[in-house]
Amino acid sequence: MLNKGFALRCCFAVLLLLGVSTFLLRTVQAATINTPGIGSVNVSAVDPEVTVPNTKPVVVPLFSNEKFTDFDAKPFSYTAPNPAQRWAKIVLVAHFSCTLGRQFDRTCSIFIGNTNVFFGTTAEPSGKVAPSWSVERDITDYAQLLQSNQSAKVLLGNRVDDRYTGLISGSAEIDFYPADSANPPAVPADLVIPLNTSNSLAALHNTSEALSKTTVFPTNMVRIVMDVFAESQGNDEFWYTNVPDEDTVKLGQDGGTSFREVEIAVDGRAAGVAPVFPWIYTGGINPSLWMPIPGVQTLNFKAFRVNLTPFAGLLDDGKPHTVSVSVYNARDNFATAAALLIYRDPHLAKVTGAVTKDTLSSVPRPSALTPFADPKATTIGPVSVTSDRTFTIVGYVLTSWGRMQTTIKQSSSFDNYQWITNTTDLQRQIIAQNALTVVNTVTSLSNKDYVSRRVYHYRLDLDSNGTGLGGAQAAQKTSIRQTYDVESKQTLPGGKTNWSDELNIVSPTATDLLNKDGRPIKFGGSTSSQQYRYLDSTGKHYDSTVTAVDGKVADFR
């Protein structure tokens, strides 16, 4: 007779292996990482803390009060906690600060064993504000990586001299929460394979450059996912403002169009697609926009997870294979990090399978259009770039549980519309950008279907309006609205449904008064707000809003 407890544990493990959340961990009301205070000028946001068990964690320090004054990577040694201990949750926690003065926003990344465990940017200081902030990232899925001692680095290039005086400091740790009777152990990936090398980011400067890894994979993989980051830098920082190459001179903008997309390939074969979120850093467009509320995910990027499970049978053959990541339309520098999370059959050393269907084209085919401009017209628009495609990938593996087939149907739509006015006394650019990605996944096992649907909606609205240009005093008013909205629904055999909805909106407006050379001479006022809402089928509910006026928190609820 089958032991009931054993059967329940096996069911729990299989559900997590398939990527189906069981929502068994206790949920609590989330707290805010960077808690706003009325009147505060410090970094203020209502992003929630990672929900953790109500137990005392084992704390593993990474680095403490590290000073970042140059562009050299700071190596440190990661020392693993008790490898026999099982963990319910693992969270990376970091604290940063910058002194008063002048400084750019800077990119920060933390790598352990060539695997990225944190990626974000820093808050800019001013002569009156020395910002400090905290970040967290749930890295429970990376537990296998953290079981052994590893070489590690924190990369935060920063220039400190007579002109750029802001000194950035930081500390980081990993909190391991032990499993107990109330908090069951997590089922993390069996193996983590980073694509990066030398504990550092990869710089992709054009469409043909790629971050890639060639290796012999385990022969018993049943599930594979990739976490990928692609951060725009240099002349690609404001890629969403770009126009077709033939219109760069006429419109006074960079080329390449406003469309970017991450492409994933297996042995050169198209295997997955990820959208690029339009992150805006705290020095982006106008620093006054982001004081004290930073943009969506500015200080703490979220990876996009791509399901590569249909390719597990192909990669299980014991031969070398190459997995690669590239950025379509990259023109300068996309800082990129990616890692594969591998789940293996616990009972079989060898698993076979195949890809049975793959309709994903190797490259997208965006369409760009610039309307005919009347020489007398002052506004050109809409300058439009659109991209739409739908694909299906199907693969199977013969596991110890039976034949497991994974079907992924994904649709991606992107549109960017711009209206540009450029006269002697008026320069205005209005942008309306939408990126919608819908991923439907069906995992079929033992005549039962596990169905997952995730909808990612990224939206950016921007209005940059300069008036009175060339006069004694001009005004530059900028309004932005960033939206990150992710809806998830999972349907288990028998009809039980789990769902969640995460919404993060940041909306700032700022005005600067300019001299005749276009240089700011006076701050003209700002307002900003952030709403963060999370709901799920377990009853967990988090909904908080912060507003600010002229760089100070005005309300928090």
Residues 178 and 193 in one domain: no
CA distance 214 to 203: 18
Q: Which two tokens stand for residue 274?
A: 């990820």
| DSSP 8-state secondary structure symbol assigned to residue 34 | S
Residue among 377, 267, 347, 378 at smallest CA distance from 315: 267
User: At a CB cut-off of 8 Å and minimum separation 6, what does 56 contact?
Assistant: none
Residue type, 456: Y
Better pLDDT: 556 or 466:
556
- φ/ψ of 475, rounded to 5, equals -130, 135
- Read off the pLDDT of residues 6-63 as tens digits, 9 standing for 90 and up: 333 344 455 556 665 544 333 334 578 888 999 999 999 999 999 999 999 999 999 9
Which of 186, 206, 223 is the C-terminal boundary of a domain? 186
Chain segment 500-513, per-residue pLDDT in tens: 999 999 999 999 88
Q: What is the dihedral of CA 307, 308, 309, 313, to 10 degrees?
A: 180
C-alpha span between 283 and 256 (Å, rounded): 23
Is residue 236 within 8 Å of residue 328, measured between CB atoms?
no
Q: What residue numbers bound the domain in which 349 lies?
A: 4-51+189-556
What is the rounded CA–CA span in Å between residue 91 and residue 188?
13
Contact 156, 108 (CB under 8 A): yes
The C-alpha atoms of residue 437 and residue 458 are separated, in whole angstroms, by: 9
- The dihedrals phi and psi of 385, each to the nearest 5 degrees, come to -135, 125
- Shared-domain flag, residues 513 and 367: yes
| Percent of the chain at pLDDT exceeding 90 | 83
Nearest by Cα to 306 from 269, 263, 358, 353: 263
DSSP 8: H
80 and 22 within one domain:
no
Whether the predicted pLDDT of 498 surpasses 50: yes
Q: Which residue has the higher pLDDT, 551 or 370?
A: 551
List 413's β-bridge partners, or say none: 388, 436
Helix or strand holding residue 142 (H, E):
none
Same domain, 386 and 296: yes
With beta carbons less than 8 A apart as the criterion, state whether 117 and 111 touch. Answer: yes
Q: How confident is the model at residue 447 (pLDDT cuts 50, 70, 90)?
A: very high
The tens digit of pLDDT for each residue in 249-268 reads 888 888 899 999 999 999 99
Q: How confident is the model over 226-234, as a mean pLDDT?
A: 97
Q: Is the peptide bond before 75 cis (omega within 30 degrees of 0)?
A: no
Q: Which amino acid is at 250?
A: K
Q: Where are the beta strands (DSSP E) in 446-495?
A: 448-467, 474-491
Residue 293: the pLDDT is: 98
Q: How confident is the model over 399-438, as pLDDT tens digits?
A: 999 999 999 999 999 999 999 988 888 889 999 999 999 9
Q: pTM higher than 0.75, yes or no?
A: yes
Looking at residue 407, what is its pLDDT? Answer: 98
Tell me the mean pLDDT in the region 391-398: 98
Q: Same domain for 532 and 461?
A: yes
Same structural domain, 87 and 199: no
Give the pLDDT of residue 28.
38
Per-residue HEC secondary structure of 59-126 comes to EEEEEEEEEECCCCCEEEEECCCCCCCCEEEEEEEEEEEECCCCCCCCEEEEEECCEEEEEEECCCCC
Asked if residue 193 and residue 88 are part of one domain, the reply reads no
524 or 132, greater pLDDT? 132
Question: Both 410 and 510 in a single domain?
Answer: yes
pLDDT, the chain, mean: 92
CA angle 141, 144, 150 (to 5 degrees): 120
Same domain assignment for residues 518 and 420: yes
Q: What is the pLDDT of residues 122-159, one digit of tens each?
A: 999 999 999 999 999 999 999 999 999 999 999 999 99
pLDDT on residue 22: 45
Residue 439 three-state SS: strand
Mean pLDDT across 235-256: 90
Read off the CATH number of the domain in which 172 is found. Answer: 2.60.120.230
Selection from 275, 289, 247 nearest residue 418 by Cα: 247
Closest CA to 217 of 150, 306, 354, 311: 311
Contact 256, 51 (CB under 8 A): no
pLDDT at res. 18: 62
Query: What's the rounded mean pLDDT across residues 155-176?
Result: 97
Instruction: Using the 3D structure, point to which of 149, 170, 186 is the last residue of a domain.
Output: 186
Residues 356 and 257 in one domain: yes
Last residue of a domain, one of 166, 186, 206: 186
Lowest mean pLDDT across 109-123, 270-284, 361-375, 493-507? 361-375
Structure tokens, 69: 């004054």
pLDDT of residue 372: 67
Residues 525, 386 within the same domain? yes
The reply to whether 43 and 106 lie within a common domain is no
| 536 pLDDT above the threshold of 50 | yes
Q: State how many domains the chain has.
A: 2
- pLDDT of the residue at 425: 81
